[in-house]
Structure 1
């Protein structure tokens, strides 16, 4: 017999979890009994929200979930924001928390860290939230979590373990890991979709985050159809660099919307067709006049936002493979010419809200072309969502989609750096957003990460200033003098450098990779050159 918590550590390792983000507390010390002797790596953030964002960045960069060990009550309300971001973007995350003794739950006795109903509080930011009432049920609940991660639309799963259950004995039986296969579309649906696409004169493909694990199939399908393709932000890089059929994440813009309206068949793969990818101008102006084929792992997504003419509940990779088997040889539909004409009409590098960041983004990509770039909600990231192309998926992600929380960039970049130590990682943050999770510089420093943290410093909340000016609202609460980041970097045992031009930024980025600590690279937004 072993304890429930020892069984938990064994199960996590058996399912392939290798990293746990957590802050030990009086209610979680049993989770730490034996953790030092397990194969799991433990990382201590400075705030539970940071733990959640790190697990999020870890999963986006690697494709594998991480776990979080979180205390009862305030620990869970702290991590709720990070869970909300992960839920919005379909990111797997296993959150293990403590909760008070079973016989005290819901009694309102004022016990330490007590919530009226912690499980129900967290259920709104989870795929599911479960209270473990018996140690014997633990393998079943962990299996449910990984069934979600591996064969359904992923997201955070929360399992809370009462203090008296943590120490319960349970039999040390062999761990059985089921082979999980996601759903596949029936042949009849694939036949119909292939027929529609084969007959189409102006097809359009929409690639969402559900495509990131099948980039080769996505490329082959787009090329076979000779169809323009738009990606969501989370699918950036699926088609690789400079693909002639790739329009990137431009679906919110007039010329791209015109192309969508003119398409006679639209194939939407693994995308919710949501506002932050398709309606960033917030006018509900995206229209499909032709037939819409939707493929998603979540049945409810198939009925949201845009009505489909043909909907397939299936793994996107298997559908792409099935369509490639059924489609005829490539038909010349002039897809590349459509993309060129649309890009000319878009004139992205001349757009008023994009052009000021073009030189900055070019420098970033040229200095570290293989880097993973993790962004917060800040001007250069918004512009980069339109402008930046990546060589592979999982190299560009940020909090500008879905939940849209500030403070994401730094801790998510730490998670990405821990997940992919072979690849440079750059966090692009605003001075305002960085202050939300500034304490996580200590975590990055402790881990000895050669992380480049590029701060776009405009003394406050620049994007909100712009919105206030646009809507003729008097500025209030947005002009916030930034702290002395160089002094703060020293206090956190990090390097720092201020840059004023592309050459200095390029040198600073290159130099960051030779360091064994994070490097804060501060850019004064008011003096950054708009043109080379």
Structure 2
């Protein structure tokens, strides 16, 4: 009779979790990556003696990063994961209560964008020694609900570890979801504070190195054959590159496909850069914020191949973009849910694997030369419009936002990474930015979260050391979340930040005007005598604020100043901010207007003439909507 016992290690639950996380790896194409590369944390009573103590003991195995805002920590982790092609992620730990609920926005962003992040919020006592305890949400009909339950709908996996031994299956499930390209997003392990500190005899096998292989699912042969047949029969095909191209590292496969077939390639916000802007087949961004070239092609396309896209309303111009009666769709996506959208032929597969097989199946096929000449001529005309928007005739004048982008465009190389998420900048960037490398363009537009840019820049810079990383922020976004400037200074991460001061919510101001709401409540101004916000601009000095947080600041008052400041910032080895007050595009040449519609419902009845007129335009545009069945 064998009475020997398997080897065990006595650790607290928190200590066991940290030791486990330090030994998890992903592997794709024979390259191994650490799955949880670091842990962000803000400590409170709900995690300081549990996860906090465990991180202290494991400092050599698990790097700790000190954040200032819980939401921002998630943004930093998400930026790192995107730059790492989803093969590496960060964990984020917080206390129970407001620290935990501050995670919700970041979790939603991660899950919507299919980007991995592990959330480790403290939770109320599992043993209920007192009821209620500090920061406990009392729900009369359920004793097991805590504020952490608000993370359930924005997490791809959620578990509450109420006993030490329950950590083993929970942790394994968490790693499975984080490393699965079809399932990944925010993963939450809620950790009751008493359980974090409770000791248990853990099996040594739990701490063995574990490799989570990230597969490249091959496409179904019959579906690939049908797609190839449809492409051969198509006269006006168009490929739409989504974020899945980047996640799959499929850029070279896409280039080979485009080179072989001549099929034009448009890109979503997440997919921009899938081809460099000067590739002959690249026709730029598509949809409401897209180029005239891409949107015109979409309107006449008879076959659209979507690769790694969720087909959001911005991409489809709220279901008005693809106007041909004969248009059909092929969707290549690693998730079945997205592959079956638009009533398309679904190819549930890895983007790179599917494109490689589709290219092989189309050997010898190329689109008609007249179609190629048409879209290349249109692209050349669009590039002239971009050059015009970037041009600044008077170097001593205050720049427009487009001219700020032009000055940056003239400076950067393929090494630079440009980050943005919200406001009017995503639209200008999608239309105008000339992406020179696969990962230069980093615009978070799945959730379009104000306050993402600065912390995300830190995460990206940590994943791409030595490369210039630019966070482009408007004044509205800056005021939402500047706190991680302190983290960049503390960690010595030389992010470059450009603050564009336009005294309000420029994007929503323009939208408000277009829907008849007359820019109400969108300007940062004093109240006038009539109590409207139409007085003088607020005397807010964001440059001084950034400087007070430890950042080096360079003020630019003109286009000439701006060019000098951007060059100085690019060469800096400390966190550096370029502050510029922009001119409105009303008085000078600005970016081209939206090339396609976006559905924002307008008041059906109103007394103000602006709203009545806007409703008439809304009804006209909405009449073009269609369901692709």
Tell me, what secondary structure is at the counterpart of 1:247? strand
Distance 1:189 1:327, change over 3 A: same
**Deviations, residues 83-121 of structure 1 (Å, cap 9, x unaligned):** 11222222111111221122449x9x4322324434531
Matched, 1:326 2:361: yes
Q: Which residue number in structure 1 is paired with residue 20 of structure 2?
A: 11
Q: Mapping of 1:50-129 within 5 angstroms? A: 50-63=72-85, 64-104=88-128, 109-115=131-137, 116-129=145-158
Q: Mapping of 1:254-293 within 5 angstroms? A: 256-279=294-317, 282=318, 284-287=320-323, 289-293=326-330
- Counterpart CA distance in 2 for 1:259 and 1:311 is 22
- Counterpart CA distance in 2 for 1:199 and 1:283 is 24
Q: Which residue number in structure 1 is paired with residue 335 of structure 2?
A: 298
Using the size of structure 2 for normalisation, the TM-score is: 0.77
- Counterpart CA distance in 2 for 1:482 and 1:62 is 40
Q: Which residue number in structure 2 is paired with residue 195 of structure 1?
A: 229
Matched, 1:27 2:64: no
Q: Which residue number in structure 1 is paired with residue 568 of structure 2?
A: 511
- Counterpart CA distance in 2 for 1:27 and 1:54 is 22
Q: Which residue number in structure 2 is paired with residue 464 of structure 1?
A: 508
Cα shift at 1:168 = 3.5
**Deviations, residues 190-227 of structure 1 (Å, cap 9, x unaligned):** 22222222333322111110111211111111222210
Structure 1 unpaired stretches of 5+: none
- Counterpart CA distance in 1 for 2:555 and 2:584 is 12
Greater CA drift, 372-381 or 154-163: 372-381
Greater CA drift, 193-202 or 492-501: 193-202
Cα shift at 1:283 = 6.5
Aligned residues of 1:398 and 1:408 also touching (Cα < 8 A): no
Aligned residues of 2:66 and 2:487 also touching (Cα < 8 A): yes
Q: Which residue number in structure 2 is paired with residue 219 of structure 1?
A: 255
Q: Which residue number in structure 2 is paired with residue 248 of structure 1?
A: 284
Aligned residues of 1:9 and 1:38 also touching (Cα < 8 A): no
- Counterpart CA distance in 2 for 1:158 and 1:287 is 42
- Counterpart CA distance in 2 for 1:277 and 1:351 is 24
Cα shift at 1:384 = 0.8
Q: Which residue number in structure 2 is paired with residue 397 of structure 1?
A: 442
Tell me, what secondary structure is at the counterpart of 1:144? helix
Q: Mapping of 1:377-388 within 5 angstroms? A: 377-388=422-433
**Deviations, residues 337-367 of structure 1 (Å, cap 9, x unaligned):** 2322443676783799999543321211222
Greater CA drift, 202-211 or 498-507: 498-507
Tell me, what secondary structure is at the counterpart of 1:301? helix
Pick the structure with more helix per residue: 1
**Deviations, residues 206-259 of structure 1 (Å, cap 9, x unaligned):** 111011121111111122221011111111111124111111212335653442
Structure 2 unpaired stretches of 5+: 1-8, 25-33, 138-144, 392-399, 525-537, 591-629
Distance 1:462 1:531, change over 3 A: closer
Cα shift at 1:262 = 2.7
Aligned pair count? 525
Tell me, what secondary structure is at the counterpart of 2:459? helix
Tell me, what secondary structure is at the counterpart of 2:483? helix
CA RMSD, Structure 1 to Structure 2 (Å): 2.8
Q: Which residue number in structure 2 is paired with residue 171 of structure 1?
A: 203
Q: Which residue number in structure 1 is paired with residue 517 of structure 2?
A: 473
Tell me, what secondary structure is at the counterpart of 1:33? helix
Cα shift at 1:375 = 1.0
Cα shift at 1:59 = 1.3
Distance 1:368 1:352, change over 3 A: closer
Aligned residues of 1:494 and 1:519 also touching (Cα < 8 A): yes
Tell me, what secondary structure is at the counterpart of 1:367? coil
Tell me, what secondary structure is at the counterpart of 2:477? helix
Distance 1:283 1:292, change over 3 A: closer
- Counterpart CA distance in 1 for 2:580 and 2:281 is 34
Greater CA drift, 23-32 or 36-45: 36-45
Cα shift at 1:270 = 0.8
Q: Which residue number in structure 1 is paired with residue 546 of structure 2?
A: 489
Bigger radius of gyration among the two: 2
Using the size of structure 1 for normalisation, the TM-score is: 0.91
- Counterpart CA distance in 1 for 2:388 and 2:569 is 31
Distance 1:135 1:414, change over 3 A: same
Tell me, what secondary structure is at the counterpart of 1:323? helix
Q: Mapping of 1:366-445 within 5 angstroms? A: 366-369=410-413, 370-399=415-444, 401-445=445-489
**Deviations, residues 475-500 of structure 1 (Å, cap 9, x unaligned):** 44322226212322332121111113
- Counterpart CA distance in 2 for 1:506 and 1:354 is 13
